[in-house]
Amino acid sequence: MATQVKTQKKLHFVIIPFMAQGHLIPLIDIARLLAKRNVTITIVTTPLNAIRFNSIIDRDIESGLPIQVLRLQFPNSDAELPDGCESIDTLPSLSLLKNFMHALGLLRQPFEQLFQELKPRPNCIVSDKNVLWSVDVASKFGVPRIVFDGLSCFAGSCIHSLHVSKVHESVVSESEPFVVPGLPDRIEITRAQLSGAFNPGPHHFFKLTREKVIEAEEGAYGVVVNSFEELELEYVKECKKTTKTAGKKVWCVGPVSFCNDDDLDKAQRGNLKASNNEEEYYLKWLDSWGPRSVIYACLGSLSRLIPPQQVELGLGLEESKRPFIWVIRGGYKSEEFEKWLKKDGFEERVKGRGLLIRGWAPQVLILSHPSIGAFLTHCGWNSTLEGICAGVPLVTWPMFAEQFYNEKFIVQISKIGVGVGAQKVVHNGDEQKFGVLVKRDQITEAIDKVMDAENDGEETRKRAQKLAEAAKRAVQEGGSSYVNITLLLEDIKNLCVTP
Ligand code: UDP
């Protein structure tokens, strides 16, 4: 990478998120954190992705933060993608992922043009690992590129170990546990639980992209991680060891969701719809329950349960005999499932005690309410961290990607959760073939374990609360994540003045 000769007083970072909620949301938080540290920020994305965070950024701009959002048209028709599909969660089928990545690749040329016109000249690009061309663009323009990969250091270490050792390749059975070698803890996993590149299912695409992603990561100056050192110190060290050999740096700057400090920011984070005061209703509903009594169940922005599996989840929540919020993602055979909700009398039976949110829920706002007692999660890393910030125990139901590694971290290492007993990755598009994998009593049992003061529930809750306190300290002035942002900025400043 060519170094920059000119000294500039104020840094200017260009941020390029990947278009999927689990990637977009935390990188927008990181952009805002940097702007709060007086870095000029240019976020580059497509129009429909910009809508997801516009209101928050507009308020930031009004309050004087140096942020702008620039939009590039997404080339849907050139890539044979339906109109309106500008993010992974809006794709009608994952078979279109190839077209989506092609469209993303076509953004390189308009991005280069835009980059050349930016004033002052940017000093750094922070881009998602999936924006593969950003590494070449950064080296073409002689600016460092920092990569955001959305994983924890623990998951990153598991993936690195599997990639290097290839231990899984000599395990014959899909369901036979084996040890992930070379990690600070003894982590056992099965082949059926591995993430995309090692367990691609029908989507061999993941295997191909993994290689390209590794290549692109190697060209990065450093990695920014949504985590905090006190949470996974041994694994931060692991990550530093493995990236150091490639001459890269690692900065843990999270939990980044804390940058949404007022209720409006929390309510609108990643939000698609204009607020019509639904949030107020949710908060009032939560106010009506006692402290730490409500189960919040949400399985992220991408997971798709077949109707019979949804039914088991609903019945599990009902049989827990506790108040609950259940976020039901629309889109996948939702008509069939809606019919069941009404016809079987479920909605009527749980009326008052169960709040059903269809579509998008203001997750961080809900989790920050004192009535939330536990979070039933698919173990996406953002959701995991948001649960940790809320100080509540987790009921874990991993489904795909690196979620089984995250479950190990939650249940075995941090000991702040109990699993429902999910055994294998459900490949997207193959849900029907897998059928019902988790039964209602498994769900009720796991909820009981974290909610009952006996059976270790109290200890689990105490550990969760302790972690939440450590998370808060990490982002406060002088905390480890705060200091890591300072170090990152100093590094980039030094690069700018070194001939
Ligand atoms: N999220 C939300 N409301 C929803 C679903 C998801 O706010 O109804 C947010 C959640 O807070 C998190 C992100 O979307 O920040 C999901 O990321 P995660 O890594 O947990 O899972 P993914 O959706 O990528 O599987």
Write down the ipTM of this complex: 1.00
Instruction: Identify the bridge partners of residue 250 per DSSP, sorted by sequence position.
Output: 223
d(CA 459, CA 52): 38
- How far apart are the CA of 336 and the centre of ligand 1, in A? 24
Span 401-436, pLDDT tens digits: 999 999 999 999 999 999 999 999 988 778 888 889
What was the pLDDT predicted at 275?
A: 57
Which residue has its alpha carbon closest to ligand 1 atom 3? 361
d(CA 436, CA 313): 10
- How far apart are the CA of 16 and the centre of ligand 1, in A? 19
Nearest in space to 397 (alpha carbons), one of 489, 462, 305? 305
Q: Are 143 and 125 in contact (CB under 8 A)?
A: yes
Render 207-273 in DSSP notation, one character per residue: HHHHHHHHHHHHT-SEEEESS-TTTSHHHHHHHHHHHHTTT-EEEE---GGGG--SHHHHHHTT--S
d(CA 346, CA 341): 5
Domains and CATH numbers, the chain: 2-258+475-496 (3.40.50.2000), 278-472 (3.40.50.2000)
Which residue has its alpha carbon closest to ligand 1 atom 24? 22
**272 pLDDT band (50/70/90 cuts)?**
low
Length of the chain: 499
Those residues whose C-beta lies under 8 Å from the C-beta of residue 169, and which sit 6 or more positions away, are none
Say if residue 4's pLDDT is above 60: no
Of 302-306, 362-366, 476-480, give the lowest mean pLDDT range: 302-306
**245 pLDDT band (50/70/90 cuts)?**
low
Closest ligand 1 atom, residue 329 Cα = 8
Closest ligand 1 atom, residue 361 Cα = 8
- How far apart are the CA of 52 and the centre of ligand 1, in A? 13
Which of the listed residues 149, 301, 392 should we mutate to test ligand 1's pocket, taking the one with most ligand atoms within 8 A of CB? Answer: 301
Which runs of consecutive H residues, i.e. helices, occur in 86-152?
Answer: 97-106, 108-117, 134-141
Does residue 268 have its Cβ closer than 6 Å to ligand 1? no
Instruction: State the catalytic residues.
Output: 23, 128
- How far apart are the CA of 473 and the centre of ligand 1, in A? 23
Those residues whose C-beta lies under 8 Å from the C-beta of residue 315, and which sit 6 or more positions away, are 346, 440
φ, ψ of residue 347 in degrees (nearest 5): -60, -40
Nearest in space to 125 (alpha carbons), one of 49, 234, 284, 16? 16
Q: Are 22 and 150 in contact (CB under 8 A)?
A: yes
Q: Would you say the pTM of this structure is higher than 0.90? A: yes
**496 pLDDT band (50/70/90 cuts)?**
confident
Q: Residues 215, 217, 219, CA angle at the centre, nearest 5°? A: 80
Does residue 382 have its Cβ closer than 6 Å to ligand 1? yes
Span 112-170, pLDDT tens digits: 999 999 999 999 999 999 999 999 999 999 999 999 989 999 999 999 999 999 999 99
Enter the tokens of residue 409: 């971290």
Which of the listed residues 328, 367, 383 should we mutate to test ligand 1's pocket, taking the one with most ligand atoms within 8 A of CB? Answer: 383
Enter the tokens of residue 31: 């952009």
Number of DSSP helices (H) and strands (E) in the chain, helices first = 21, 15
Those residues whose C-beta lies under 8 Å from the C-beta of residue 278, and which sit 6 or more positions away, are none
The pLDDT > 70 percentage for the chain reads 94
d(CA 6, CA 495): 10
Enter the tokens of residue 79: 């890539």
What b/e string do you get for 465-483 counting C-beta neighbours within 10 Å, with b at 16 or more? bebbebbeebbeeebbbbe
Does residue 377 have its Cβ closer than 6 Å to ligand 1? no
Strand order from edge to edge, sheet including 67-71:
67-71, 40-45, 12-16, 124-128, 145-148, 222-225, 249-252
Say if residue 64's pLDDT is above 50: yes
Enter the tokens of residue 111: 């991005």
- Sign of the CA dihedral with 238 first, then 464, 259, and 399 last: positive
Q: Are 411 and 417 in contact (CB under 8 A)?
A: yes
